Structure 1
């Protein structure tokens, strides 16, 4: 059993996505601890403050007691709004505090895009325009081309948590562009786990969402892979090439083929 830890900002938004993912993934335990949020508002300073070192430290002890193998700060705005270097410093401090590898949702998006091997993406953000643009700038810092950035202009996590599938479809459709090879939906306050496959069918391309890539990032840090096609293409099992067939002169001939977990280059958040 692999135990992963998550620090989730605030309460009662979309943290119930995590037990859903735990059910879908094999032999994985997801431990979620909440951090304090002064005000539920999508403003640059307020979101950045949610990721302050003191706030993240409040949830560390409980995760240590749970024996987690990695920790992810489950917030997009609370990480990318600190900029590329600031987000690295944030996760480095978290790793020192908890004593295991640490990362954030924002780096989870970067690493997921790299694993999918796509060069160009579209961003479907719930945030106001300046915050949505800051996320796209963060992606560009990682060398990812952003074809389009759509901002829905919501003002709080509570508003995002109330959205249903139809509103999510409208969001990604508005953001989509033919040249985009994947769609990114960066808000961990959105309930998306139950809808990823439907969104991918709608667009005909991979869809990466906040809570989905957060868990994938925790697995990556723990050097563990778990598969569930119901969680989208990033969790789809990759088919390995068949093993070579031995020649008759080298002993009994045999061939082996089948599926096994695909391990791409493991990139730590500091790389």
Structure 2
């Protein structure tokens, strides 16, 4: 069993992780801890026996530059006693993995947050040819809580769930198209609160290119840190390639 840990300051599409865990196979466990302080949340993951930790953050506002971010991840790794990374670094490595050195970025945060993330990508050697912020906040939110509780409206019928899923996918597609550029080899959706795992194949088919999202790259990065290779086409082009970039 390979146990992977994830730290998040917010909801971080909590329903994505059980779905991804199911798609990866029975020998991989994903543990998500919500916390504003990585050093505190990591203790819970350490006790759970995880083999790698990924800090899931919306942008690199928690660290002003890649060098500072790396230093903080070293501290996190020391506390966890395992390799550690974060989603900004995961996006850079995942884009390289699929040979997408030119990307477009679409986020539901502010233009300033999106611009900071784009600058982080550029510092990592990627070309950003399209970026937009202030998209539909929580475009793909909703669903159940992390403990399986019902939504605020008390849940929906199966027909309602199907309709909600269609609305969720349409919102994600609109968000991705808002920043897409013909030159981009991939579209990045960095908002960790977007539930995307159920829609990756449809998004990639509609755009005609890979789509990278926060929960998807966080899990891929954790697997990379543990030298695991998993073929899972349901999770998009990123999970259909055998080589894993070592950075």
Larger RCO, structure (CA 8 Å, separation 6 or more): 2
Secondary structure of the structure 2 residue equivalent to 1:166? helix
Q: Does residue 110 of structure 1 match 2:109?
A: no
Q: Distance in 1 between matches of 2:139 and 2:71?
A: 30
Q: Distance in 1 between matches of 2:204 and 2:63?
A: 27
| Deviations 1:219-266, CA, capped at 9 Å, x for gaps | 001111112100000011x4xxxxxxxxxxxxxxxxxxxxxxx23331
Correspondence for 1:34: 34
Q: Does residue 185 of structure 1 match 2:189?
A: yes
For structure 2, the residue ranges without an aligned partner over 5 or more in a row are: 143-166
Correspondence for 1:259: none
Question: Which of the residues 174, 178, 189 maps onto 1:174?
Answer: 178
Secondary structure of the structure 1 residue equivalent to 2:66? helix
Secondary structure of the structure 2 residue equivalent to 1:59? helix
Q: Is the 8 A contact 2:4 2:31 kept in 1?
A: yes
Question: Which of the residues 195, 204, 207 maps onto 1:203?
Answer: 207
Q: Aligned pairs, how many?
A: 222
Q: Is the 8 A contact 1:129 1:153 kept in 2?
A: no
Quote the offset at 1:187 in angstroms.
Answer: 0.6
Q: Distance in 1 between matches of 2:34 and 2:209?
A: 32
Q: Distance in 2 between matches of 1:147 and 1:70?
A: 32
Q: Distance in 1 between matches of 2:232 and 2:218?
A: 15
Quote the offset at 1:73 in angstroms.
Answer: 0.3
Question: Which of the residues 41, 50, 62 maps onto 1:59?
Answer: 41
| Deviations 1:146-197, CA, capped at 9 Å, x for gaps | 0110113566xx5762482111111111111111110000011001111111
Which of the pair has more CA radius of gyration? 1
- TM-score normalised by the chain length of structure 2: 0.84
Correspondence for 1:25: 24
Q: Is the 8 A contact 1:79 1:90 kept in 2?
A: no
Q: Does residue 139 of structure 1 match 2:138?
A: no
The two structures, once aligned, show a CA RMSD in angstroms of: 1.8
Secondary structure of the structure 1 residue equivalent to 2:105? strand
Q: 4+ residue runs of structure 1 moved beyond 6 angstroms?
A: none
- TM-score normalised by the chain length of structure 1: 0.77
Quote the offset at 1:78 in angstroms.
Answer: 5.3
